[in-house]
Structure 1
Amino acid sequence: MSWRDQYEMGAFRGHPFRTEYHERTGGRRVVSHEFPGRDEPVTEDLGRSQRTFSVGCFVVGAEYRAERDALIDALEKFGPGLLVHPFYGSMIVNVLSYRQTEDTEEGGMCRFSIEFVEAGIKPDIPAEADAAAAAGFEADDVLANAAGEFADDFDITDVADFVSDAASTLVTGAANLTQFIAAAQGGIGPALRAFDAGLRFLPANIQSLLREPLRLGQALVGLVSTVQALGSNGRVRVESFMGMTAFGESLKPITGTTPSRQRQAENQAAFVHLYTAAAAAELVRAASRTSFSSYEEAALMRDRVSARLDVLATRAADAGQDGRAAVFDRLRRAAVRDITQRGGTLARVHDLPIGATQPALRIANRLYGTGPGSGGVEARAADIAARNGVRHPGFVPGGVTLRVLSAARPGAGAGNGR
């Protein structure tokens, strides 16, 4: 095969680009020691240097602005991401810098010069480390490997037409479900444009993507991931991804033992796992970014997320797909560690009977006081009113039992969620 036959479009965090040039730097980390009275130095090889990749690329077309903005968001996003290098394949990298250029002589095009550096292997995370960050790393790892694993298991080469038709139906169904669930998120600006661009890309290129399963996997993972950027409510994001993990549950099992039917069944299982694994990874990430006001609130989300991921792991294990079951089990453990760590220090909710009608501010002052660690008596009063659906915080009706927070432990907080 010539280099043109092996060439693929590049992509970062699922956002594709066309490559013009690339450079790669590397080497060894060598330290030299020179000693008095000795002519020859002593050198130590400390291992391979970190590799860097310089990529010159561009986005072009009628929708280039949306693709440009989506790529910029991906380049400026926190943490490492998946780079699909057109010559070196998939790798996890960090972005050092990028330069964006647009020229009126080249209408409808935006050029980028991007400097990537390999992220390497993350160190073992000690037990006391930030579990929310660890959950995010686990999600990144699943997303980074999802497309490649899918490409190994999905194939429509030399198959009957009904096999490729069934695969096309799966792609359309996944796109429709994602569009339906994303509509509840809302979203504006670059995030919404990136989602719309990814949504249009799938059906418009479905036939070519089916014959290039790596690109199909990358496009689908990218589409699922863009849902994370829509809207600003963490709980809505969690519910959205919970719904997306149900993809495939209503699909009928493929019966028959002919080679074509077996290939159809394997393709369906691979596609369902790709979509649900991507949604599960983003579910864990969404949960790690959600804050909680009480231990009970955190425990409820922990149990719901854990139960959902356990269903996915059990379903894969029952089908004899132990490797796929392990993916969901890893995500489940990461989510449980995260939410347990952040929720364990939060205040508990308990019942408080109220005898006479009185202001929420008085109740808050009686419960929490105004000293250090009180959390702000006005904020506490607002929480009491909101938690119990009080119409006017100045008149909490008597003869009812309120749900109120106990005083949080010193230094307690809801974690780094939003």
Structure 2
Amino acid sequence: MAWKDKLQPATFRGVPFEVESDDGSFGRRTQVHEYPQRDMPYAEDLGRATREINVTAFLIGDDYLDARDKLLEALETAGPGTLVHPWYGELKVSLKDPARVSHSIANGGMCTVQLSFVEAGELAFPSAGNSLGAKSLEAADRLQDAGSFDYVEKFDVNSKPSAVFDDAVKTFNDGCDLIDNATSNIKSILDHPMQFLKDNARTLIPDAFAMADTVFGLFKRGESVVDSITSMFGGGGASARNSDTVAALTSLSRTFSDRAATAQAVANSASTATSTVSPSRAQAATNAAALNHLFSQSMLVQAVGMTTTMDLPIYDDAVKIRNDVTAALDNESLAVSDPVYVVLQDARAAVYADVTGRLSQSARLKTITPRAIMPAIVTAYDQFEDVAREGEIVDLNKIRRPGFVPAEPIKVLSV
């Protein structure tokens, strides 16, 4: 098919005209940066340039004046319109500059029109949406408030036998010991050493409000935790340490929840007709359940806050964190009052939505096998052509001797 057979009749908004010639501009937007004392510039690509189409049109014939007026009306209509270009076909364009119409006695019975169009594009505004991270932090705050109120309602040692008070001190000290014996990652985010709290246990125990504030205030919060872990372990190892810390928090929460359930079972048995549990023993069990729930919920508040503020660069780790936190929130929900149950489930929904929404930004892991025992820096170059990613490989696989990566399957990021 000859090129003339491919030409299309030119129109704008359905008004026909003839085309004498055209030209257009296409390409990229480039910003050239030049620096003192450097011979080579840097050309920065800023994206595709706006396409411009310039057309020299003409209208001819006995009725060319009527055809001109229709074309002028189309050109003066607001908004973008459809241009059928002889060579480019159908385009959505806007008139860039006012059209110029020329008449001459020498060319009677016709007029020429200079047209300059640009592609119309689209008017796009940033889309409004909910901040899922903010919702998670709000849910964590509500959990702290509901947990504190629930604890104050249930815990009571005043005007009770000394054994009830002593049992509460023992339960509190046991909880502190459990945290103190946890991973070093947990200890790194504590605001106070556990021994300090144990030394003040007998002062804290009678004041339920002070106890709730103290337990919920065990940890540094939110971004300060993530920043402190990043400064301790560096960018490469911080992500894994954050993940390990959240895993340790959720594990501790489940342990405290189980202890609370055991104590609550004893307290509940006191209400049965055949129960031999004394009122003092029942209150001691209720206190133990309340304290363990308090510890558990403080772990969950911290875990939710960390999950929301930390980076999630690895898909597999992000999914595990999401599952660990939501499972721990579900576990704590099994034996709590209705108000606490509601905020726990709100926190669960917020964490699930927040992490799931960020999964698309996370890289997946893949398994490779180095061809021989070699340093991690060589493995990084072989895999990514980037020696700076050595620490990433060492951290992901917990390699103890980076100079000797074994010729065994290891995990690396897919990008």
Compute the displacement of 1:304 (Å): 2.0
Q: Quick one: which of 331, 335, 356 aligns to 2:347? A: 331
Compute the displacement of 1:134 (Å): 2.7
Aligned residues: 260
Deviation per CA, 1:6-64, whole angstroms, max 9, x where unpaired? Answer: xxxxxxxxxxxxxxxxxxxxxxxxxxxxxxxxxxxxxxxxxxxxxxxxxxxxxxxxxxx
Identify the residue that residue 346 of structure 1 maps to in structure 2. 362
- Mapped partners of 1:183, 1:397: distance in 2: 28
Identify the residue that residue 266 of structure 1 maps to in structure 2. 286
Amino acid at match of 1:212: D
Aligned-partner SS, 1:291: coil
Identify the residue that residue 256 of structure 1 maps to in structure 2. 270
Identify the residue that residue 181 of structure 1 maps to in structure 2. 182
Q: TM-score, normalised by structure 2?
A: 0.52
Q: In 2 relative to 1, CA 142–155 (structure 1 residues): closer, same or farther, beyond 3 Å?
A: same
Aligned residues: CA RMSD: 3.8
Compute the displacement of 1:266 (Å): 2.9
Aligned-partner SS, 2:181: helix
Compute the displacement of 1:156 (Å): 2.2
Amino acid at match of 2:200: A
Compute the displacement of 1:324 (Å): 2.9
Identify the residue that residue 93 of structure 2 maps to in structure 1. none
Alpha carbons 1:143, 1:221 under 8 Å: kept: yes
Q: In 2 relative to 1, CA 356–248 (structure 1 residues): closer, same or farther, beyond 3 Å?
A: closer
Alpha carbons 1:350, 1:404 under 8 Å: kept: yes
Compute the displacement of 1:394 (Å): 9.7
Compute the displacement of 1:158 (Å): 2.9
Aligned-partner SS, 1:181: coil
Amino acid at match of 2:342: A
Matches within 5 A, 1:250-399: 250=259, 251-252=262-263, 253-254=265-266, 255-257=269-271, 258-313=278-333, 315-316=334-335, 321-352=337-368, 359-360=378-379, 361-365=381-385, 377-380=386-389, 383-384=392-393, 387=396
Deviation per CA, 1:357-402, whole angstroms, max 9, x where unpaired? Answer: 995324324xxxxxxxxxxx4445664565457899899887x655
Alpha carbons 2:368, 2:412 under 8 Å: kept: yes
Alpha carbons 1:199, 1:223 under 8 Å: kept: no
Amino acid at match of 2:247: E
Aligned-partner SS, 1:350: strand
- Mapped partners of 1:164, 1:392: distance in 2: 52
Compute the displacement of 1:310 (Å): 1.7
- Mapped partners of 1:172, 1:391: distance in 2: 36
Alpha carbons 1:280, 1:331 under 8 Å: kept: no
Compute the displacement of 1:159 (Å): 2.5
Compute the displacement of 1:241 (Å): 1.5
Matches within 5 A, 1:47-62: none
- Mapped partners of 1:199, 1:261: distance in 2: 27
Q: In 2 relative to 1, CA 239–353 (structure 1 residues): closer, same or farther, beyond 3 Å?
A: closer
Amino acid at match of 1:279: M
Q: TM-score, normalised by structure 1?
A: 0.52
Q: In 2 relative to 1, CA 222–266 (structure 1 residues): closer, same or farther, beyond 3 Å?
A: same
Alpha carbons 2:164, 2:284 under 8 Å: kept: yes
Alpha carbons 1:154, 1:266 under 8 Å: kept: yes
The answer on 1:237 being equivalent to 2:245 is yes
- Which segments of 5 or more consecutive residues in structure 1 lack a partner in the other structure? 1-125, 366-376, 408-418
Identify the residue that residue 149 of structure 1 maps to in structure 2. 150
Identify the residue that residue 192 of structure 2 maps to in structure 1. 195
Q: In 2 relative to 1, CA 356–309 (structure 1 residues): closer, same or farther, beyond 3 Å?
A: same
Identify the residue that residue 138 of structure 1 maps to in structure 2. 139
Identify the residue that residue 168 of structure 2 maps to in structure 1. 167
Alpha carbons 1:296, 1:349 under 8 Å: kept: yes
- Mapped partners of 1:175, 1:296: distance in 2: 32
Q: Quick one: which of 208, 213, 224 aligns to 1:213? A: 208
Compute the displacement of 1:256 (Å): 3.1
Aligned-pair identity (%): 22
Matches within 5 A, 1:34-45: none
Compute the displacement of 1:195 (Å): 0.5
- Mapped partners of 2:301, 2:354: distance in 1: 14
When structure 1 is superposed on structure 2, of 388-397 and 299-308 the one drifting more is 388-397
Aligned-partner SS, 2:246: helix
Q: In 2 relative to 1, CA 337–199 (structure 1 residues): closer, same or farther, beyond 3 Å?
A: farther
Alpha carbons 2:212, 2:294 under 8 Å: kept: yes
Identify the residue that residue 204 of structure 1 maps to in structure 2. 200
Deviation per CA, 1:203-252, whole angstroms, max 9, x where unpaired? Answer: 4351x433321112112222255798596142343133223312252455
The answer on 1:247 being equivalent to 2:256 is yes
